[in-house]
Amino acid sequence: NAGVTQTPKFRVLKTGQSMTLLCAQDMNHEYMYWYRQDPGMGLRLIHYSVGEGTTAKGEVPDGYNVSRLKKQNFLLGLESAAPSQTSVYFCASSNEMNTEAFFGQGTRLTVV
């Protein structure tokens, strides 16, 4: 009964460091998404994927890369972290484009 699982839950990075956030879903969904959530703002789409091997840019893609090598996994990478990337990151999945999305529990990232 896992749904969407994100790892890690928390992370502190120094400016310039890199890291990868992992998202795994067990619902056989085709569509997966990465969002960031900042205080006072709505969730903003970073990148999304409409199926294994495909990715596309969302609203705020700069500074991030993604990969979808397996249907159940969607990875979000930060090559050179910046303080502006301090945020809470949510992964989500759905069975059709932007229908009911099931969210992970979030990753709180702080870049110092």
Partner 1 sequence: KNQVEQSPQSLIILEGKNCTLQCNYTVSPFSNLRWYKQDTGRGPVSLTIMTFSENTKSNGRYTATLDADTKQSSLHITASQLSDSASYICVVRERANDYKLSFGAGTTVTVRA
Closer CB to partner 1, 5 or 17, in the complex = 5
Q: Which residues contact 14 (CB under 8 A, 6 or more apart)?
A: 81, 111, 112
Closer CB to partner 1, 64 or 90, in the complex = 90
Shortest distance, position 90 Cβ to partner 1, whole Å: 5
Closer CB to partner 1, 17 or 72, in the complex = 72
Between β-strands 73-78 and 64-67, what pairing exists: parallel, antiparallel or unpaired?
Answer: antiparallel
Window 2-41: residues binding partner 1 (CB under 8 A): 4, 40-41
Q: Are 57 and 65 in contact (CB under 8 A)?
A: no
Under the rule (CB under 8 A), what is the footprint of partner 1? Answer: 4, 40-45, 90, 92, 97-98, 100-101, 103-106
